[in-house]
Amino acid sequence: MANELKGKVALITGGTSGIGRETAVVFAKAGAKVVVTGRREVEGNETIDLVRAAGSDGLFVKGDVSQAGDVQAMVKKTVEKFGRLDIAFNNAGIEGNALPIVEQPEEDWDRTIAINLKGVWLSLKYELQQMIKQGSGGAIVNMASVAAFFGSVGFGTYTASKHGVIALTKSAALEVAKNKIRVNAVCPAVIETAMADRLFGDPDVHKMMVSLHPIGRTGTPAEVAAGVLWMCSDAASFMTGQYLVLDGGFLAGPPALSDVE
């Protein structure tokens, strides 16, 4: 898979751990220079160390995707460092608090939507401005979720944000297709990350979640990163305005009742 992104410059939001970090390393191995953003400086620089160990160059830019000035700075510093922006993975996101709608504080809604949905909108806005200015096309992948396709008790805000990401992805793809910029989304089910540990770390809860994946396990960050790499490469040149579901069969339906203990 070497050199698929040779000569490209990629920006990854939420790259301090998990899927974002893994994708940064995969992009680096594929030949891209990688800019990683996030709110945690130590972890961000650790990701860049891994990028360099993978044989490429990188830069960490501290910032919050819910703040327009921070997002503008992310793109500006990317261009200042590497001269252009070809690829973006808008990965930053939070799970929010698990509460029924009638009990959820307004600030919980505001924070989750600000990062998961407004953050994608802001990232698209400034990434696309740069790519359009360059005039040489580009590829963007937004982090959605299988939660973009159903409701979930206690996670109404999270699922609303992910439904919104799909709509933004389709709208952006239509707006910039003429500019040869492709915009897609990735929709994982449960992936082995710190977020999953927070949500499903209890052994009984984890067992239940695994049972909802007919393939018999949860996914890994590497599996998501491989899908994102493909969508950002020329191998996916005819794909835009779509989403790639990586879910171990989650959305296909529950496993056979005889297989569930």
Which residues participate in catalysis according to the annotation? 158
Give the C-alpha distances (Å, rounded to integers) separating 169 from 25, 89, 104, 173, 246: 24, 12, 27, 6, 17
Residues in Cβ contact with 127 at an 8 Å cutoff, skipping those fewer than 6 apart: 11, 75, 85, 88, 90, 138, 140
**201 φ/ψ angles, rounded to the nearest 5 degrees:** -70, -30
Strand 58-62 to 33-38 pairing: parallel
* Contact between 232 and 10 (Cβ < 8 Å): yes
Element (H, E) at 181: strand 181-188
